[in-house]
Structure 1
Amino acid sequence: MATITDFQVPIEQFALADTFARIPDLYVEIERFAAQESASAIPFVWVTSDDFEAFEAALSDDPSVDSYTALAEFDDERFYRMNWVDEVELVVHLLLEEEGAITQARSNGDTWSLQVMFPDHDSLSRTYEFCEENGLALTVDSIYRLDNEDKTQFGLTESQYRTLAEAKDMGYYDVPREATMSELADSLDVSHQALSERLRRAHGNLVDRALSASNAKQEERGERQSVRKPD
């Protein structure tokens, strides 16, 4: 049964530690990873900063980053595609060896907070052993198991979750896509129309959760800024 785990990793044992050390008031949230067969993972990252020139200068010197490309900019946020060096082993282990899905990954410089969906509890156990063997300090905050209740903690029904999981496995979300809507429908033994409606509802639920998380992030950042303001 699939298992969801929230855990933390020290900033210096994951990625961007040098960048966080140099840039104050930095917030990083990874939207998704693209796993590569060459045992590497490419993160797509939202960054909130007051000084992107300084941020990119720090990023260029960060030993955990091989290269980066700015893809979009909105007010005080930018969207980046980054190539992390092979030493960021935990992500590679999660994505390629345990077939996990990193559903959340964010940091404001203290630790990296990750939420990972494992295909089963054994995968979680192996990941914990991997961290111990490689000297990684993984702190588990919570563990959930998906069951047959109507809703999961992602706001998805069980059928929506299974559909998204199958779509991910078949490469429906890859760029370019490795599976068509018709192929996905055949695999799930549902009609094209039923699949389209299920995906729309699932995506809508995930967007609702993402917007709620984004609002919480903005509120947290506003609170940090208010604390720094002089009387």
Structure 2
Amino acid sequence: MAVIAELTINSEDFDLGRVTSLAGGMHIELERVVPTGGDVMPFFWAKGSNFKRFEHAVRENRIVEELQAVAKVGDRVLYHVYWGDTVSSLTTILTESEATILEAHGNTPWTFRLRFNDHAGLTEFHNLCQEQNIDFHVERIYTLVEEETGVYTFDITPQQQEALVVAVSEGYFEVPRRTTLKEISNQLGISPQAASERIRRGADTVLRKVLLSRSAADLD
């Protein structure tokens, strides 16, 4: 089943991010839907005040062959960028994991909404990013069905969901941790042992859904 991931990536990890971040004060948004095969991120919108300075900075970059303003709507300009010898590992990773960019915008950092054919594609994306030392922060992961219904349960109990929400929001999974199991249990009004069981069982269920879910081909 197709899965959607919303995440943030530093602008230094892909060509368009590096090029457009040189001219500060501009907000960039990819023209949706953007294919990752063939031309890589050829169209984007720019919003800001100093377009002359922005265009000069982009055109001066050695990997940009040409930049053309296609249209202006209000305070936004649609550009077509022609790439030269790009070096972005992120765009290669998106292609290899067969990801489709549904939405991407920002400057530093960027927010991406990516669609993968299945959980295996998302896993491939994660592994390739690890190999290339590309850090990203996951905001949400959900299936198309969950997007349509607006329900994101991952088959965990309400108690497990509550414990996971508290753990994530308080920084329990961060390195270093910003909270302790005892502090989480106090917020939930349960024992540390019970809090630990809810967090571990809920996390195990979610991770199995995300990383180990079978596709339709596996059922044949």
TM over 0.5: yes
Report the equivalent of 1:98.
97
Helix, strand or coil for the counterpart of 2:104? strand
Q: Which amino acid aligns with 2:58?
A: L
Helix, strand or coil for the counterpart of 1:16? helix
Q: Deviations over 1:37-70 (max 9, x none)?
A: 4xx5133111102011101001112355343221
Q: Which amino acid aligns with 1:151?
A: E
Does the aligned pair in 2 maintain the 1:8–1:113 contact within 8 Å? yes
Report the equivalent of 2:112.
114
Helix, strand or coil for the counterpart of 2:54? helix
Decide which structure has the larger Cα Rg and report it: 2
- Structure with larger RCO (C-alpha < 8 A, sep 6+): 2
Distance change (3 Å), C-alpha of 1:66 and 1:136: farther
Does the aligned pair in 2 maintain the 1:102–1:114 contact within 8 Å? yes
Separation of aligned partners in 2, 1:150 and 1:72? 32
* Equivalence map 1:70-219=2 (5 Å): 70-84=69-83, 85-94=85-94, 96-107=95-106, 109-147=107-145, 151=148
State the identity %. Answer: 28
TM-score (norm 2): 0.59
Distance change (3 Å), C-alpha of 1:83 and 1:51: same
Does the aligned pair in 1 maintain the 2:35–2:100 contact within 8 Å? no
Does the aligned pair in 2 maintain the 1:128–1:138 contact within 8 Å? no
Does the aligned pair in 1 maintain the 2:12–2:18 contact within 8 Å? yes
TM-score (norm 1): 0.57
Q: Deviations over 1:103-146 (max 9, x none)?
A: 11001x32011000101001001101111111111221110022
What is the CA distance between 1:36 and its match in structure 2? 4.1
Structure 2 alignment gaps of length 5 or more? 151-220
Q: How many residues align?
A: 147
Helix, strand or coil for the counterpart of 1:105? strand
The alignment status of 1:27 with 2:27, answered yes or no, reads yes
Q: Deviations over 1:53-101 (max 9, x none)?
A: 101001112355343221111232110112344322322332x322221
Separation of aligned partners in 1, 2:105 and 2:82? 17
Report the equivalent of 2:180.
none
Helix, strand or coil for the counterpart of 1:87? coil
Q: Which amino acid aligns with 2:102?
A: T
Report the equivalent of 1:195.
none
Separation of aligned partners in 2, 1:129 and 1:115? 18
Does the aligned pair in 1 maintain the 2:13–2:89 contact within 8 Å? no
* Equivalence map 1:34-45=2 (5 Å): 34-37=35-38, 40-45=39-44
Helix, strand or coil for the counterpart of 2:140? strand
Does the aligned pair in 2 maintain the 1:6–1:116 contact within 8 Å? yes
What is the CA distance between 1:13 and its match in structure 2? 1.3
Structure 1 alignment gaps of length 5 or more? 154-231
What is the CA distance between 1:152 and its match in structure 2? 5.4
